[in-house]
């Protein structure tokens, strides 16, 4: 799940990996994203790509500058939450070290 924090404190909610990718490719990178790892099942009843997959897409495929990204991980899955947090923290730290 991703939430876009706007100036009116409203959120745009996406509930799937595909919606996450489509949202960002359409509207650009939001100022704030809140990640949940467990996104449930896809339309075929299979486990859907999760919040970690969304974070990996941002880092490895999106080509976006994430240095100013503010994010929170609110997943109740502690292992996946640590993976998302670590991936984004380390990548942003790497980007900032290049300047």
Tens digit of pLDDT for each residue in 15-32?
A: 888 889 999 999 999 989
Indicate if the pLDDT at residue 77 is higher than 90.
no
CA dihedral (65, 19, 35, 79) in degrees, to 10, reads: -110
Which pLDDT does position 91 carry in this prediction? 96
Which pLDDT does position 58 carry in this prediction? 96
Q: In terms of Cα–Cα distance, which of 63, 57, 64, 68 is closest to 32? A: 68
Chain mean pLDDT for the chain: 84
Indicate if the pLDDT at residue 42 is higher than 70.
no
Q: Phi first, then psi: what are they for 13, rounded to 5°?
A: -110, 130
Which pLDDT does position 54 carry in this prediction? 93
Indicate if the pLDDT at residue 64 is higher than 60.
yes
Token couple for 41:
């099942």
- HSE, CB side, 13 Å, CA atoms: give it for residue 2: 29
Where in the chain does DSSP place strands (E)? 2-5, 11-14, 32-35, 70-73
Which pLDDT does position 30 carry in this prediction? 92
Measure the N-to-C terminal CA separation of the chain; round to a whole number of Å: 31
């Amino acid at each position: 799940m991703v939430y876009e924090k706007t100036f009116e404190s409203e959120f745009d909610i996406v509930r799937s990996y595909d919606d996450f990718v489509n949202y960002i490719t359409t509207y650009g990178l939001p100022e704030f994203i809140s990640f949940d790892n467990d996104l449930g099942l896809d339309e075929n009843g299979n486990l859907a790509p999760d919040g970690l997959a969304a974070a990996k897409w941002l880092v490895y495929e999106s080509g976006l500058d994430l240095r100013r990204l503010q994010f929170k991980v609110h997943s109740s899955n502690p292992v996946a939450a640590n993976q998302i947090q670590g991936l984004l923290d380390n990548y942003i730290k790497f980007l900032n070290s290049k300047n």
